[in-house]
Homo-oligomer: A and B are copies of this chain.
Amino acid sequence: MKRPLILVTNDDGIKAGGLRYLISQVRELGDVLVVASRHSNSGQGHSITVRTPLRCDLVHEEEGYREYVSNGTPVDCVKLGEQIVLKGEKPDIIVSGVNHGSNASVNIVYSGTMAAVIEGCIGGVPSIGFSLNTYAEDANFEACGSFIKEISSKVLEEGLPAGVCLNVNFPVVPKEKIKGVKVCRQANARWVEQYEERTDPRQRDYYWLTGYFEKLEENEKTDQWAIENDYIAVVPIHYDMTAHQSIEKIKSWNLNGYGL
C-alpha cells in the first residue's frame, strides 16, 4: 500500500524545535515533504509574498523524506510545496507546527502556523495545526507525540468535512497529567496592546509591540478553558467568515437604494 504523503510546515522557521519534533512524529505515518521558512514568521497571519521573488531550495533528501527551505511565509510554503515541489499534485494531509505558543482563541487570527493550515484547507487538503501553550524556544514537546500521530492518522483515515481544518492546542504538562481531548469552540478574547515607547539616537520616537491577553469569557466549551485545565483542545475551523446570524439585522437597515 502506498504510504501517505505528508506536507509539513510551521511559522517558527525551519530550525524550530517544534517543527523538528513534528517531523519526527509524522515520519512514522508516511512519506514527508517539509517546506518551511528560513526565519520565524510568527505573527505573519495569512501573509503572501507578491512583491519579491520566492525561493524554494532543497536542503535534505533521503528515502521517503525531502526538506525544502524558503524565503516565503507559511502560506507561501504551502503553495510552493504543492505547485513547485509536487508540480500540482496534492499531499494527503498538511500538518503545521508544533507552534511555540498557543494558537487557541483569537491567536488564530494572527498565526502563520494556522494560516498555513487554512491555506491547505482552501486548496482541499485535510490540514491540522498543532501548538503548545508556551513560547519557550527549548520547549519539551514529548507529551504531544502520541496525540499528533493519532489525530493525524484519524484525519488520514476519515478525512475532514469540506472547508474544515483542525486547530489543536496542547497544555504544557507531562503526558500523564493530560486529562484528555476536548473538541471545542474558539474562545472570545483579545490582545490588549501596550507599546513600549523608546527614542532612537537621532531623537525620533519608535515603538515595540507588547501587550497582554485578555479573556472575555470563561467557558468549558472553549479551547482556552481546555488548555488551561490540562486538556488538549481540538477546534474545527473554517474560512467562511460570514457572521450569518447578523445578515437579517443588516438587511433590516434597508441599505438598498439608500443614497441612490
Contacts and interface: CB of A to CB of B under 8 A. Distances in A.
A49 interface: yes
Q: How many copies does the complex hold?
A: 2
Contact of A237 (B118, B178, B243, B258): B243
A76 B82 CA distance: 31
A65 to B, nearest CB: 21
Contacts of A24: none
A163 B154 CA distance: 33
A260 B183 contact: no
Contacts of A240: 185-186, 188
A181 B43 contact: no
Interface string A40-84: 101111111111011111000000000000000001100110111
Given A45-B115, A207-B53, A207-B80, A122 B190 contact: yes
Interface residues of A, number: 90
Interface in A121-164: 122-123, 146-147, 149-151, 154, 158, 160-161, 163-164
A64 B91 CA distance: 55
Given A250-B166, A259-B149, A43 B48 contact: yes
A180 B115 CA distance: 34
Interface in A171-205: 175, 178, 180-186, 188, 190-191, 193-195, 197-198, 204-205
Interface string A100-131: 00000010111000010010001100000000
Given A48-B45, A185-B247, A195 B235 contact: no
B243 A183 contact: no
Given A188-B163, A193-B82, A246 B250 contact: no
23 contacts: A40-B51, A45-B46, A46-B46, A46-B110, A53-B206, A54-B208, A54-B209, A56-B205, A80-B207, A82-B193, A83-B194, A109-B122, A109-B241, A154-B255, A161-B245, A161-B246, A164-B246, A181-B255, A181-B258, A185-B244, A235-B242, A236-B246, A238-B246
Given A44-B45, A79-B209, A236-B246, 9 more contacts: A42-B50, A43-B49, A45-B46, A84-B195, A84-B207, A123-B190, A146-B260, A147-B259, A188-B240
